[in-house]
Amino acid sequence: MVGPRHLLTCSHVVAWNPDGSAGWLDFVPGFFDRLPGPFGTARATKIYSFRKVVAPLDVDELRHDYVVVVLDWRIGDRTGWLGSKSYTDGWDGQAWWSHVGYPADFGGLRAAVASSRI
């Protein structure tokens, strides 16, 4: 979450239609094994992309594998959000970033969390 109604995520998770439009997208923060999840569900009303990316990804597509999704209600008021800021190379090498893995990577268990320098 980069705002109360704005989600930054991967382009390859969007169901892109052949005409370039997007299929439906529901966001369920904290989802693991039951709906609606601890914070409820929000539906996308608009999706902004630089490039529409679908898997499998090549090196160039990996650089553009992001979208900003506008949600139908302020679910971020329940979850909190990080905000956004323009990138600066002064962040390089710092331990400020975390990657939260996919549950399926670990046999369906809850997502693993790791933090390291990038």
One digit per residue, the tens of pLDDT, for the chain of length 118 reads 999 999 999 888 899 999 989 989 999 988 776 777 889 999 999 999 988 888 777 887 777 888 999 999 999 999 998 887 777 888 777 776 555 555 555 555 555 555 556 5
Distance from C-alpha of 109 to C-alpha of 118, rounded to nearest angstrom:
26
pLDDT at 97: 58
Structure tokens, 109: 């268990």
Question: Mind listing the domains of the chain with CATH numbers?
Answer: 6-82+95-115 (2.40.10)
Q: Do 1 and 73 touch, CB atoms closer than 8 A? A: no
3-state helix, strand, coil in the chain (%, to 5): 15, 25, 60
Which residues in 49-78 are b (16+ Cβ under 10 Å) and which e? beebbeeeeeeebeeebbbbbebeeebbee
